Amino acid sequence: MNAVILHSMSSETANLKSTALSDLHISLGAKMVPFAGFNMPVLYTNLIQEHHTVRNEVGVFDVSHMGEFYVEGPKAYDLVEYVTSNDVSTLSDGRVQYSCLPNENGGIVDDLLVYRVNAEKYLLVVNAGNIDKDFAWISKHNEKFGATLSNHSDQYSLLAVQGPKATATLQKLTSVNLSEIPYYHFTIGEMAGINDVIISNTGYTGAGGFEIYIKNADARAMWDAIFTAGADAGIKPIGLGARDTLRLEKGFCLYGNDIDDTTSPIEAGLGWITKFNHPFINSDYHKQLKENKPSKKLVGFKLIDKGIPRQHYPVCDENGNPIGEVTSGTMSPTLNEAIGLAYVPSSLSTAGSSIFIEVRGKLLKGEVCKLPFF
């Protein structure tokens, strides 16, 4: 099981939330673990097999633990523009944007997706472990805007149907032409006989596919319809363990590991979602950091020596002096190589730079490489 998932597990099992499909996952034999306050399926059969299913065929993740907020009204745009780092003005109806919520201390409250439904209605999709924190943060800053902010996280289920056969599988269930929905676009329509489904060409795997938002009452019907449609494509349920290895192969950041309330998006290689043509919370700090160059950067690396890097393992120079820390690491099922992300001094952030990872008291040689890994 992936170390990131293990690290995120809590020993506390009381008061865990369940998704609308938790009983189904248990009946399917999933290994259930505490994750971000929810009882979630981390594994069904075999992590490597589940990983390859998504890369080569089609898999379905229950990611209903994610949070959904609506921002509405004449001041909706102004609020979203101020609390997020990306340029909301580039959004048109039916477009999605990856962004982050900067804090007032140079770090990140959370990363998120911003959906523009129309000029006065936005959907913000946030990480499960940050739902309460994010809602309080946005509410605090909404005091000077007066938009209508509402938390719908407990009302929605979210299924991520991912893989090269995902589009063909879902196309059987809807008259919406899915091939006409570009990457990071969405529509609201009928699927599997269910109305008002948010059909979003997004995902956290880099394997292609869609994320399907439905009301909790429709979750089981949608799940069953998807699996019937994908039966001839080798469709399988996929746990959070494979979701983590898939996202890491693409170099996607995980909040709480690669980015947090102490890291700037500039340091994390997220300058592309940090636009300075509009004022946002603490934007001057990040602009100066970009202009003056950050002292550290998040990089991808591969191990040359045999071993597996894990979160919090020290990154060292050739003399064994600590210079950083691994934020995510695994053995890549696709590449069959040990890969990871780590913050290192900017002087060592170029591809080909040599670094060393301390694994169980030994220094293992690694090499900084360009992202994505795959």
Q: Is residue 92 assigned to a domain?
A: yes
Q: How far apart are CA 292 and CA 281, in angstroms?
A: 19
Single out the residue of 63, 70, 99 nearest to residue 213, CA to CA.
63
Residue 373: partners with Cβ closer than 8 Å, 6 or more residues away: 248, 249, 250, 251, 300, 302, 332, 335, 337, 339
Q: Is residue 33 assigned to a domain?
A: yes
Long-range contacts of 140-143, Cβ-Cβ distance < 8 Å, separation of 24 or more? 141/79, 141/82, 141/83, 141/281, 142/79
Single out the residue of 7, 18, 20 nearest to residue 257, CA to CA.
7
Q: How far apart are CA 270 and CA 51, in angstroms?
A: 26
Residue 4 or residue 74, greater confidence? 74
Phi, psi for residue 268 in degrees, rounded to 5: -85, 5
Give the pLDDT confidence score for residue 14 in this predicted structure.
60
Q: Is residue 350 assigned to a domain?
A: yes
Same domain, 226 and 108: no
For residue range 228-283, list pLDDT tens digits in order: 999 999 999 999 999 999 999 999 999 999 999 999 999 999 999 999 999 999 99
Beta strands of 192-308 (E only): which ranges? 194-200, 209-215, 236-237, 296-303
CA angle 208, 8, 333 (to 5 degrees): 45
Mean pLDDT of the chain: 95
Residue 34 preceded by cis peptide, ω within 30: no
Q: Is residue 255 assigned to a domain?
A: no
- Cβ(283)–Cβ(102) under 8 Å? yes
User: Of 151, 179, 209, which closes a domain?
Assistant: 151
Chain centre distance of CA 107:
17
9 pLDDT above the threshold of 80 = no
Q: How far apart are CA 334 and CA 337, in angstroms?
A: 8
Q: In this structure, which amino acid lies at residue 78? A: D
For the chain, the residue count is 374
Q: How far apart are CA 43 and CA 45, in angstroms?
A: 6
For residue range 14-65, list pLDDT tens digits in order: 689 999 999 999 999 999 999 999 999 999 999 999 999 999 999 999 999 9
Same domain, 162 and 42: yes
Q: How far apart are CA 214 and CA 155, in angstroms?
A: 9
Residue 11's pLDDT band, with cuts at 50, 70 and 90, is very low
Same domain, 53 and 170: yes
Same domain, 36 and 95: no
User: Token pair 């001057």 is at which residue?
Assistant: 284
For residue range 85-139, list pLDDT tens digits in order: 999 999 999 999 999 999 999 999 999 999 999 999 999 999 999 999 999 999 9
10 pLDDT above the threshold of 50 = no
Give the pLDDT confidence score for residue 15 in this predicted structure.
84
The count of domains in the chain is 3
Give the mean pLDDT of 219-234. 98
CATH number of the domain at 321, please: 2.40.30.110
Give the pLDDT confidence score for residue 127 in this predicted structure.
98
**Residue 233 per-residue DSSP state:** G
Q: In this structure, which amino acid lies at residue 257? A: N
Residue 91, classed as helix, strand or coil, is coil
Token pair in block for residue 120: 């006065």
Q: Is residue 314 assigned to a domain?
A: yes
1 pLDDT above the threshold of 80 = no
Token pair in block for residue 302: 């591969």
Cα-based torsion angle of the residue sequence 213, 216, 221, 224 in order, rounded to the nearest 10 degrees: 70
Residue 14: partners with Cβ closer than 8 Å, 6 or more residues away: none
Residue 69 or residue 9, greater confidence? 69
Same domain, 50 and 79: no
Q: How far apart are CA 264 and CA 330, in angstroms?
A: 24
Give the pLDDT confidence score for residue 265 in this predicted structure.
98
User: Token pair 């998704």 is at which residue?
Assistant: 19
318 pLDDT above the threshold of 80 = yes
CATH number of the domain at 164, please: 3.30.1360.120
User: Of 83, 116, 151, which closes a domain?
Assistant: 151
For residue range 130-181, list pLDDT tens digits in order: 999 999 999 999 999 999 999 999 999 999 999 999 999 999 999 999 999 9
Same domain, 162 and 236: yes
Q: How many CB atoms lie within 10 A of CB 281?
A: 17
- Cβ(310)–Cβ(329) under 8 Å? yes
**Dihedral (CA of 110, 70, 33, 17) sign:** positive
User: Of 194, 221, 249, which closes a domain?
Assistant: 249
Q: Is residue 264 assigned to a domain?
A: no
What pTM value is reported for the model? 0.94
Token pair in block for residue 237: 């349920």
Range of the domain at 26: 3-63+155-249
Chain centre distance of CA 163:
16
Q: How far apart are CA 165 and CA 208, in angstroms?
A: 9
Same domain, 215 and 361: no
Cα-based torsion angle of the residue sequence 8, 9, 12, 13 in order, rounded to the nearest 10 degrees: 130
Helix (H) or strand (E) segment spanning residue 172: none
